[in-house]
Amino acid sequence: MQPANGTTKPRPKRLPIGRLVPASQSIHMGAGTEHQPQHPTSHSPAMAAGKRTLVFTYGTLKRGFSNHALLQDLFLTGDATFVGAAATASPLPLVCGPYRVPFLLNLPGSVGCHRVKGELYSVTARGLARLDELEGVSRGHYERLPVEVMLAEDGAEQLVVEGEAVAYYAHRGYAEEMWSRSGRRGHPEYSPAVAAGYVRRVDRPQNLTFLEQIQVFVSSQS
């Protein structure tokens, strides 16, 4: 787009990883104990020790839910830092599958979904490997992909830039089936009310794999 004088408008400068810009600016990006938020600036300890990845959590890894214990372990080893409350920049489907397990679906533009609320963490490579194992990335359970997120900052929303934020989406192999099985209606947040009836992994039938449980769920009547 060119101004009236015909000169080319310069592209906005991309900021270092973890820096924030007001949502109104035209910046584009790729896709127990309680810890106080540390904003991911270039001077933050969260960004100081080696490469870190911003991970958007929307389900059981959040504070107050069953898998948050893993993040607490990572806090103790310095492999994770809580950044703040966040939400997806655009609407995405968030649904519950078998045993009220939450799934974020990489189906942007779907009708019937919302901007999803969650939490943002800064995680080291070692911490990311632990999260990958929990989420079954190598087994086709979830897949770690870029996500655009807005971080709550002093009462306003700020866009996290540089495409460094990621989320664990439902694997593409069953995402569309999961969306159809859910009646193409998503949740804005995995709240305690939405999570009611959640069954921990150790309490689920052990004769079926995770993917088999999903297949049974998507094949059943709603």
Active site residues per annotation: 135
Q: Which two tokens stand for residue 188?
A: 């804005």
Q: Which residues contact 170 (CB under 8 A, 6 or more apart)?
A: 97, 103, 104, 105, 106, 142, 143, 178
Question: Tokens 């866009």, residue?
Answer: 159
Say if residue 110 is exposed, middle or buried (CB neighbours under 10 Å; 0-12, 13-18, 19+).
middle
For residues 159 and 110, give the distance between their C-alpha atoms in angstroms, rounded to a whole number.
Answer: 22
Backbone angles phi, psi at 187, to 5 degrees: -105, 145
